[in-house]
């Protein structure tokens, strides 16, 4: 933990420090060795927040992007269940920064507990299995309603560069077809239609994730992956075909929006002039 209570106030770990856990009230000791990130640990093993994972420098760096008062916030449910979130913004959005793999059960229970939650996932461990592929028009654009994209996939060099059918073409043979039920038809290549299709580009792409961490694909709260650069990647479902896509959101915009939006789903969806 970054913080413990010392004489009633939140303090970062200092050499030989003693404090109490903000969440469970038991004794904590400061760990300030020369080769460890300074942190607090419970003096004896005990039942504190079972969701808490040991902090990595990546965790600590994320917390430190926020004002001190936003970090390590305890939440008490009406039934007495208590948990400590990594970050809670003044507008009420909880951010959980997650380095380790997580089971579906744990993800679901945290999503239910916090509700207005955003996941930020450390992508450094699977970066080489993840590639960003061709651009897509914004899902709500007029042209997007007519295009049915072939899913990207490992070694799908054609569809990874963009291949689509036109629903309007498919309906000439069967007017009842939808994007979800159309099966075959004339294939069009994005490279032949870039001006028409990408006039509606707003940052969406197909992606390929080999051996994906499935729980993040099924999450009900927004999932942002941090690959260690200036951009986050938000996982989304593109349309009624179930096509998976991502949208790139700059870290600066994310950090701005979580402090002003009240709904986790609204992050990265509206324009603000960011200084
Ligand atoms: Zn505790």
Per DSSP, the residues of 151-162 read PP-TT-HHHHH-
Q: Give me ligand 1 centre to Cα 231, in Å.
A: 34
Asked if 200 contacts 142 with a C-beta cutoff of 8 angstroms, the reply is yes
- The partner residues of 225 in beta bridges, in order of sequence, read 121, 233
pLDDT of residue 70: 97
Q: What angle do CA 32, 53, 121 make, to 5 degrees?
A: 115
- What pLDDT does 47 receive? 74
Cα of 50 from ligand 1 centre, angstroms: 10
Q: How close is the Cα of 99 to the center of ligand 1, in Å?
A: 20
Give residue 184's pLDDT. 86
Alpha carbon of 68 to ligand 1 centroid (Å): 19
List all residues 6 or more positions away from 120 whose beta carbon is below 8 Å from its beta carbon.
Answer: 62, 95, 96, 97, 98, 224, 225, 226, 232
Taking the centre of ligand 1 as the mean of its atom positions, its distance from the CA of residue 26, in whole angstroms, is 6
Contact in structure between 158 and 151 (CB atoms under 8 Å):
no
Tens digits of residue pLDDT in 139-186? 999 999 999 999 999 999 999 999 999 999 999 999 999 999 998 889
Instruction: Report pLDDT for 54.
Output: 82
Which residues of the chain register pLDDT less than 50?
Answer: none
Question: Using an 8 Å Cβ cutoff, are 135 and 198 in contact?
Answer: yes
Q: How far is the CA of 82 from the centre of ligand 1 (A)?
A: 10
Distance (Å) from CA 174 to ligand 1 centroid:
62
Distance from residue 8's CA to the centre of ligand 1 (Å) = 15
CB 205 within 8 Å of CB 134? yes
So what's the pLDDT on residue 157? 92
Spacing, Cα 44 to ligand 1 middle (Å): 10
How far apart, in whole angstroms, are the C-alpha atoms of residue 214 and residue 125?
15
In the chain, the largest separation of any two C-alpha atoms, in whole Å, equals 77
Q: How far is the CA of 259 from the centre of ligand 1 (A)?
A: 27
List residues, by chain if needed, whose CB lies under 5 Å from ion ligand 1. Answer: 21, 23-24, 48
d(CA 13, CA 40): 6
**Distance from Cα 5 to the centre of ligand 1, integer Å:** 11
Give distance in angstroms: CA of 43 to centre of ligand 1: 10
Dihedral of the alpha carbons of 76, 80, 86, 88, in degrees to the nearest 10: -20
pTM of the model: 0.91
- How high is the pLDDT of residue 183? 85
Provide φ and ψ at 175, rounded to 5°.
-65, -10
Q: What is the pLDDT of residue 77?
A: 83
Contact 119, 98 (CB under 8 A): yes
């Amino acid at each position: 933990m970054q913080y413990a209570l010392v004489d009633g106030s939140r303090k970062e770990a200092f050499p030989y420090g003693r404090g109490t856990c903000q969440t469970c009230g038991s004794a904590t000791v400061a760990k300030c060795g020369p080769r460890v990130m300074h942190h607090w640990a419970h003096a004896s093993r005990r039942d504190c927040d079972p969701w808490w994972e040991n902090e990595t420098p990546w965790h600590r760096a994320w917390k430190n992007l926020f004002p001190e008062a936003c970090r390590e916030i305890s939440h008490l449910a009406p039934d007495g269940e208590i948990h400590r979130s990594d970050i809670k913004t003044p507008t009420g959005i909880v951010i959980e920064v997650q380095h380790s793999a997580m089971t579906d059960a744990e993800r679901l229970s945290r999503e239910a507990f916090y509700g207005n939650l955003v996941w930020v996932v450390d992508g450094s461990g699977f970066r080489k299995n993840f590639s960003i592929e061709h651009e897509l028009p914004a899902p709500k654009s007029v042209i997007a309603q007519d295009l049915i994209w072939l899913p990207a996939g490992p070694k799908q060099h054609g569809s990874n560069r963009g291949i689509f059918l036109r629903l309007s073409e498919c309906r000439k043979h069967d007017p009842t077809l939808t994007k979800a039920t159309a099966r075959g038809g004339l294939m069009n290549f994005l490279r032949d239609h870039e001006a028409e299709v990408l006039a509606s580009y707003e940052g969406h792409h197909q992606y390929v994730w080999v051996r994906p961490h499935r729980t993040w694909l099924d999450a009900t709260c927004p999932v942002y992956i941090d690959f260690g650069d200036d951009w986050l990647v938000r996982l989304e479902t593109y349309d009624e075909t179930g096509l998976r896509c991502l949208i790139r959101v700059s870290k600066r915009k994310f950090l701005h929006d979580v402090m002003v939006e009240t709904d986790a789903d609204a992050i990265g969806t509206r324009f603000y002039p960011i200084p």
